[in-house]
Structure 1
Amino acid sequence: MIMNWLELFPENVKRLLLHLPKGVLERLEEVRIREDRPLEINAGGKFHFVSPDGELTQRPQEAYKPSREDGHRLLDLISNHSLYTMEEELRKGFITIPGGHRIGLTGRTVLSGGRVEHIRDISGFNVRIAKEIRGAADEILPYLLDIKRKRLFHTLIMSPPQHGKTTLVRDLARQVSSGLWGRSNVHWPGLKVGIVDERSEIAGCKRGVPGFDVGPRTDVLDGCPKAEGMMMMLRSMSPDVLIVDEIGRPEDAEAVIEALHAGISVIATAHGSSLQDMRGRPALAALVDNQMFEMYAVLTRSGDERSFRLHDSGQRTLQTTRGSRLDGDAFA
């Protein structure tokens, strides 16, 4: 089966990817293209180089080396031949395209007033392939339910990059909005969900319409800065649950506090592997120390297996799961 995201790639690279074993292709998470350097992939958390014959290898000298023409062609494809229209994305160092796929960029930065204005001479690409996994939230969702008050706990989900935070909150939105509650016995109706999707990864919107199933009662602010978007959602859409990805700036923390005081449930994600990591980030330390979140979930990963640890607001460990496989009923 040919995946739509394969059309992102220049013909030379697409041909090599199509030659990969089916199991590897279906588990592909990242494709790293570096001009005149080895083509590298991440499949199921395992990294390989790809030879000119489309074979996997651990020897970089045996790998296909994308040319400058490959890089230029890829840039044309992801920008729809209009790179100048993506100046804001270039300033941030990544482009998110329809489907929620995110392409990180490296090259020479151009500065203005000491800040990055945009990137030129782009020679490195990290294509992160977004996937929709129904049931990704089945195991964790019952622990996030406040049964007495018939609501969700304010929850911060933490993990290093590529551990599945975005895939998890995408399925949380779908289930909460649909009135599906994972492996619990509750039968509540669906709640109104608001997603602030600054990087366009959670919902994968195209012209404002979600490309992923985020549920029938979900509203999405696509491409909107998180802090401003949270306030817009509160004022205009009256959500029961607000979902936001990758908080970390002081203005994000302030907006989270405002939302918490507005009487809605907040589910946010952040980079980190422990509560101690959160305390090391000034913008988030106050949220943890003041017990603004009622539940913390730390995701861990080993290859294709995912696990999570849950802590309450007092930072006591409530639950630790065993690993669940990507192709099982857990998250990716």
Structure 2
Amino acid sequence: MNGRKGIEGMLYAFPPSVRKILSSLSQDVLQKIEEVRLRANRPLAVYLEGSEKFVSTSGELSNSSSSSYIVTVDDCEKAFQLVSQSSLYAFEDEIKSGYITLKGGYRVGLAGECVLENGSIKIIKNVSGYNYRISKEVLGAADEIMEYLIDRQGSVYNLLIISPPQCGKTTLLRDIARALSDGFMGFDGKKVCIIDERSEIAGCYNGVPQLNVGIRTDVLDRCPKAEGMIMAIRSMSPQVVVTDEIGKKEDIEALRHVLNAGVKIITTVHAKDIEDLKKRPLLKDLVEGKYFERYIILSNRFGAGTLEEILDENLKMVFKGPYKKGLKKS
């Protein structure tokens, strides 16, 4: 079941001129859009199905920018008013992190002039670049593989999802969290806590998840991963902790703390495959120390979310891909 949200739910956050152009696109195109890019004095662009297209005033898509609509400085100023709801203070913490989360779980990345205070970013002003990202919630994305992530006694395997950027790892991670939380045939749901440092997994708005992460799931939104993992263990008694994109020394130390507490961990990392992962000393130690009992390798061979293989703690294959919904297993 595809629960992906379309761009229609965030049209209100575009400046009027851009909103009018996007509204003229066909329903089929609107459903495929993954990102909309606004850059002051540059062409309006959209990304769909892994490719970039420029958009004309009449709503025509083209590989060439020669006839595209040129985003104005006024468009960018109006965009900021709309995404921030004309309240800089209310979104100050998010803005200095480079994004604003909209109701519905949509996210708008910001680029502009960074103002520093004591060496840290205080705020971003004169915003001239926007990346409107459409939520890619795919309910059921993990259904076919859940049996490989649970042992015969119903215990959850510690899991690391390995994926290059934009290959669907967060979408899969979210649906795994949902399945573990809700439960499924032969498996009772677990208490899950998501550490969502960049509001990408649960898409929280005012602290409330806008995406389906399960009925037994708690979310620490915009919380640093390392601190959040330890906070979760101390306060929320989770059976499974879920977080995205580990890699820093403090992340690894917190991950060990979670495992030492007897809590299961589900997380992700940017890498092409196991060999690529092992080039990074901290992560190599986790592999050789058998901290993880399952590894999922993703690619975009047949589009984002293509599952290449699932490996066990000894790096033996337990599931052979490529697999993607609609594609037969080889």
Structure-1-length-normalised TM-score: 0.89
Q: Which amino acid aligns with 1:255?
A: A
Q: Which amino acid aligns with 1:71?
A: C
Aligned to 1:183: none
Within 2, Cα distance between the matches of 1:27 and 1:224? 31
Gaps of 5+ in 2: 1-5
Q: C-alpha offsets along residues 175-212 of structure 1, whole Å, 9 cap, x if unaligned? A: 111112xxxxx512111111111212222222322222
- What SS does the corresponding residue of 1:321 show, helix, strand or coil? strand
Q: C-alpha offsets along residues 209-268 of structure 1, whole Å, 9 cap, x if unaligned? A: 222222111111122111111111111111111111122221111111111111121100
Greater Cα offset, 32-41 or 296-305: 296-305
Count residues with an aligned counterpart.
322
8 Å CA contact 1:19, 1:55 repeated in 2? no
Q: Within the alignment, does 1:141 sit opposite 2:141 as a pair?
A: no
8 Å CA contact 2:167, 2:303 repeated in 1? no
Per the alignment, do residues 92 and 248 of structure 1 end up closer, same or farther by CA in structure 2, a change over 3 Å counting? farther
Q: Which amino acid aligns with 1:30?
A: E
Within 2, Cα distance between the matches of 1:295 and 1:2? 35
8 Å CA contact 1:136, 1:171 repeated in 2? yes
Aligned to 1:72: 77
Aligned to 1:150: 154
The residue correspondences of 1:58-137 to structure 2 (distance < 5 A) are 58-137=63-142
Within 1, Cα distance between the matches of 2:33 and 2:233? 37
Q: Within the alignment, does 1:168 sit opposite 2:168 as a pair?
A: no
- What SS does the corresponding residue of 2:41 show, helix, strand or coil? coil
Q: Which amino acid aligns with 1:187?
A: G
- What SS does the corresponding residue of 1:145 show, helix, strand or coil? coil
Per the alignment, do residues 64 and 198 of structure 1 end up closer, same or farther by CA in structure 2, a change over 3 Å counting? same
- What SS does the corresponding residue of 2:66 show, helix, strand or coil? helix
8 Å CA contact 1:45, 1:302 repeated in 2? no
Q: Within the alignment, does 1:7 sit opposite 2:6 as a pair?
A: no
Aligned to 1:291: 290
The residue correspondences of 1:233-248 to structure 2 (distance < 5 A) are 233-248=232-247
- What SS does the corresponding residue of 1:108 show, helix, strand or coil? strand
Q: Which amino acid aligns with 2:130?
A: F
- What SS does the corresponding residue of 2:198 show, helix, strand or coil? coil
8 Å CA contact 2:163, 2:269 repeated in 1? yes
- What SS does the corresponding residue of 1:167 show, helix, strand or coil? helix
8 Å CA contact 1:51, 1:62 repeated in 2? yes
Within 1, Cα distance between the matches of 2:125 and 2:279? 33
Aligned to 1:316: 316
Per the alignment, do residues 285 and 72 of structure 1 end up closer, same or farther by CA in structure 2, a change over 3 Å counting? farther
Aligned to 2:248: 249
Structure-2-length-normalised TM-score: 0.90
Aligned to 2:3: none
- What SS does the corresponding residue of 1:152 show, helix, strand or coil? coil
Runs of 4+ in 1 over 6 A off after TM superposition: none
8 Å CA contact 1:170, 1:203 repeated in 2? yes
Gaps of 5+ in 1: 181-185
Offset, 1:26: 0.7
8 Å CA contact 1:39, 1:50 repeated in 2? yes
Offset, 1:86: 3.2
Q: Which amino acid aligns with 1:284?
A: L
Q: Which amino acid aligns with 2:134?
A: I
8 Å CA contact 1:138, 1:329 repeated in 2? no
